[in-house]
Amino acid sequence: MDQKELRDVVRELVAAPSCCQELKEAGRKWLEAVEPAAKKEAAAALVLELREDIAPIGHVVEFFESPRGRELFGEERAGAIAAHAREVMARGGKWCDCPACAAGLKILENAALLE
């Protein structure tokens, strides 16, 4: 992956409906940073936020099967997401595969390019 591709993935992350506000903000700050010191600081903040936000697939199942998950997303939607997450687990997946988490994993795999 090169810098242009990485910027595109960060844009995907920021645009993902499943991306939380804090992660969107960290991604935007990295995209907007120009000077090397600001870029380095924004990269560190983005990596930290990604490590906090990318969900292990077991947590996805747990949340969407919980009363809170069903309350927030409705029985049908929460059940569908939990079922999908169980399929991901059955295939050996370790991480949530929503658009935000999928982009986040790509970014972490190429974190050296952030600075």
**pTM of the full predicted structure?**
0.90
Each residue's pLDDT expressed in tens, for the chain with a length of 115 residues: 999 999 999 999 999 999 999 999 999 999 999 999 999 999 999 999 999 999 999 999 999 999 999 999 999 999 999 999 999 999 999 999 999 999 999 999 999 999 8
Cα gap 95→102, rounded to integer Å: 8
98 DSSP assignment: S
Domain boundaries in the chain?
1-54+97-115, 56-94
Instruction: Write the CA distances from 25 to 10, 22, 56, 78, integer angstroms.
Output: 11, 5, 22, 26
